[in-house]
Amino acid sequence: MTILVTGATGYIGKRLIPFLLNQGHTVVCVVRDRLRADKSFSEDENVYVIEADFLKPETLDNIPKKIDVAYYLIHSMSNSSKDFESLEERCALNFKHYIETTGAEQVIYLSGITNEDELSKHLRSRKNVENQLFSDKYALTIFKAGIIVGSGSSSFEIIRDLVEKLPFMIAPKWLNTKTQPLAVRDVLAFLTRAAGNTKLYNKSYDVFGPEVITYKEMLLQFAEVRGLKRYILTVPVMTPKLSSYWLYFVTSTSYKLATSLVDSMGVQIIGQPSNINDILGVSPITYKEAVELAFEKIEQNSIVSSWKDSMISSGRLRNRLHKYVNVPKYGCYKDYKERRVIDSGKTIEKIWSIGGINGWYFGTFLWRVRGYIDKLFGGIGLRRGRTSPTELNVGDALDFWRVIYADKAKHKLLLYAEMRLPGEAWLEFKIENNKLKQTATFRPRGLWGRLYWYAVLPFHGFIFSGMINKLVEVESQKATFTSENMYKV
């Protein structure tokens, strides 16, 4: 079959595509920015990458008409837009109207469990999208899941931060809310086995794990898996705003995502039983088994996707990576350094391993201080880390940077800053003619931007010199050095 996957660069989409390819399907991936298409599948002969935006109907003509099944995996946890719900509705309607012009017989939508009378804003939006996707031209299959647990999922990473950092927690009362967590592997089993299954046409199913537990129990069970003893005291006086700040400062989540999560976690998520497990032959595993499996993937360095790499983890770029690939030349301050490279392969491996648990090779403490300052001013700080300790792809989060360009063969890595700044910043590494060229570029915004540059200039000279020295192991080489701190008009 020819299968269309929307949200192809998202947490579920990136994991779903390899399963569909292994089953022999041809996959059409729709992305808003082609640069973010995963190289691991974008070069497969059975994959077609189409750049389109369902909020812009005029961009949809590139999507082929010959489609058998389409997955609708578009949604966001962002609170950045005041008309969030109307945007999601418009996106769903544009998708529906276009798919009705294709040969698609089935649309599969991954939604959220919405059985309570009082729903969060995002669950209300998911339910509304379900209604908008119904059509006389194709059959709709809806899977409604609650908390999804897997390596790199937002719930997994946030719980991991809380459990591993806090031996004792004074937590909000919503930790007593009940839910039915579902392993990401089981979500993928439901999605892949549903394609072309006529028994599921125009049906909606709640999909969930085998146990009903509270968020507090999730934290404690997670601690058991990690061999940690944790104590949790829930209090009724913590307001949603305080709860959001609690998550924001302790975990790697952004404040906008924290507010969305707090809003959703106050709602009980219990699924309605059905025979879907028997129809598709899926036996969901327990929460503890899902956590153990997630850590196996982490230890094997085989995390396929992470919520941190999605644009909602910061929101600054909004899927417009291509607009930042060309680093500006004028009206910018630059810190340029170069060193002679003896072993380019080793230097490239160091560059591709920079940040996260590996640190920044020199002055890592100062990088952390900068991360704490960023967090205090509402930024993302360094807590996002990186998904893989050795690999980087376009669109990946790297501490408070975003990967804009990454090509090992061309020996070039370009990062764009997502920390709070009175301007814009890029950091570029490239090897040419056996020289590593490291360039930090800052485009200031107003007077404050210019003052900021001169305030941090002494630190830049110290940190960036030390970093490039470590990258080429200059202590064992006779190095050449040029440094430039200048403002180009």
Residue 449 half-sphere exposure toward CB, CA atoms < 13 A: 16
CA distances from 90 to 74, 82, 84, 98, 387 (A): 12, 14, 10, 12, 32
pLDDT tens digit at each of 489 positions of the chain: 999 999 888 889 888 998 999 899 999 999 887 776 656 565 677 888 888 888 888 999 889 999 999 999 988 655 454 577 888 889 999 999 999 999 999 999 999 998 887 777 788 888 989 999 999 999 999 999 988 998 877 788 888 888 888 889 887 787 888 999 999 999 999 999 999 999 999 999 999 999 999 999 999 999 999 999 999 888 877 666 777 777 777 776 666 777 777 767 777 889 999 999 999 999 999 999 999 998 887 776 656 666 555 555 454 555 566 677 788 888 899 999 999 998 888 999 999 999 888 888 888 888 888 887 877 777 777 667 787 888 888 888 888 888 888 888 899 999 998 888 899 999 999 999 999 999 999 999 888 989 999 998 888 888 999 999 999 874 444 444 443 433 333
pLDDT digits (tens, 9 = 90+) for 249-269: 777 666 677 777 776 777 788
Beta-ladder partners of 232: 169
The pTM of this model reads 0.75
Phi, psi at 373, each rounded to 5°: -60, -45
Query: How high is the mean pLDDT of the chain?
Result: 83
Long-range Cβ contact pairs of 403-407 (< 8 A, separation 24 or more) = 404/35, 404/321, 404/324, 404/325, 405/35, 405/325, 406/352
Q: What stretches of 251-286 show up as alpha helix (H) in DSSP?
A: 255-265, 276-280
